[in-house]
Amino acid sequence: MMKRLWLQGVRYATGLAAAALILAPVAAQAQIRQVSSSDHRHAIGVTLGGFFPKGGCDEAAGQIFVDDCHRTTGDTIVADLNDLLFEIKDFRGASFSGEYLFAINEYLEAGFGAGFYKHTVNSVYRDVVNDDRSEIAQELELRIVPMTATVRFLPIGRGKIEPYVGGGIGAFNWTYSEAGEFVDNSDSSVFPARYSAKGTAVGPVFLGGIRAPIADVWDIGGEVQYQHASGDTKPAESQLLGDKIDLGGFHLLFTMHIRF
């Protein structure tokens, strides 16, 4: 009797093991389907690229035509162009950010991001030099830290290729400074100084891009983002030449996310 029970137990255990071996691939395949790219509702990622400040100004024979600038009225950088030799495009520089995305449904998703941009531009006076004929030089620095909340619309839904457009709101923490040597207009003397202003401005954000899932949980893509905002420089305190700083411009970005 004991031998018979033992043999039945062996047969039962053997049967369970065989069933497990048969069902294991099926369960694994089901798990793979469960976490396929179309089923992921969350993503975290990074963007890397460049920031291109809004609008340049035409120059002819040393004369700046402010009306031809596409920047906000009273912009400090435009005001600096009248005395200092540089170009607005010199402020083009690297930018990066991190973001979290959440799929609301097949065609909509919400996003929250935080980024960073900082760039320094070297300038000199246009028409004035030191007594020894050396240049009167400055460093102009602009820093922007954007915090954004956006909604994206995926017109063909979530799949192998995902184009999208969207928009939202941004809070842009900024600092602008000018450091170096400056000319006193009253007596043409040259003196060292540093002028700066900072604040936080709020404005709209618009974006569009395309991405493609890879390796099941990853996606890569490209995105164009436009931000529109301006800050108050408070010239009575900062002694900057303009009362505004235009923070508008385009970000051209490479995007990469992990989905879960």
Q: What is the pLDDT of residue 55?
A: 76
Q: Are 36 and 255 in contact (CB under 8 A)?
A: no
- Sequence-separated (6 or more) residues with CB below 8 Å from residue 98: 44, 45, 46, 47, 113, 114, 115
Which position has the higher pLDDT, 213 or 147? 147
Which pLDDT value is given to residue 58? 54
What letter would DSSP give residue 91? G
pLDDT-derived band at 35, boundaries 50, 70, 90: very low
For the stretch 211-236, what's the b/e string if a residue is b when 16 or more beta carbons lie within 10 angstroms of its beta carbon? bebeeeeebebebebbbbbbbebebe
Return d(Cα 158, Cα 39) in angstroms, integer. Answer: 9
Region 103-109: mean pLDDT is 96
Pick the closest to residue 69 from 59, 60, 61 (CA basis). 59
220 close to 212: Cβ distance less than 8 angstroms: yes
Q: Per DSSP, what are the bridge partners of residue 259?
A: 43
User: Residues, the chain, total?
Assistant: 260
For the chain, give the percent of residues with pLDDT over 70.
80
Q: Band the pLDDT of 68: cuts 50, 70, 90.
A: low
Quick one: pLDDT at residue 186? 87
Q: Return the bridge partners of 197, or none.
A: 176
Coil, strand or helix at 32? helix
Residue with structure tokens 């050396």?
Answer: 134
